[in-house]
Structure 1
């Protein structure tokens, strides 16, 4: 009788441990994003080095887009 009681306690403890572990795993699962992804950015190439960068980050010059002010200065200084 004593062994049945110990077995029942062990089984109940195992059941509680397993359910808690499954609950923790489901809470840790990544949730699906609730918003739509951003629209793709328009990419432009630097006229000096050819590096592609988003249009919103480009430096505008007389001739077009550059990746930095230094490249704008170099390219427009050589062109003019």
Structure 2
């Protein structure tokens, strides 16, 4: 009988602690509040993806660096 009482009180304490933690934590952010990912572009020369704001554009193609912009699209890609 003593073991049953001990287990009962342990279960009550664990449940109370779980409820207390659940209601005192800040709410998780919902899907609506997440920032949308930055649009990505693929370098026409090497194929690496990078954010559009960091990419360089020329004649509808995107490049990751000034050197690849000068070299143009990789041969055989078009």
TM-score computed with the length of structure 2 as normaliser: 0.47
By relative contact order (CA 8 Å, sep 6+), the higher-ranking structure is 2
TM-score computed with the length of structure 1 as normaliser: 0.46
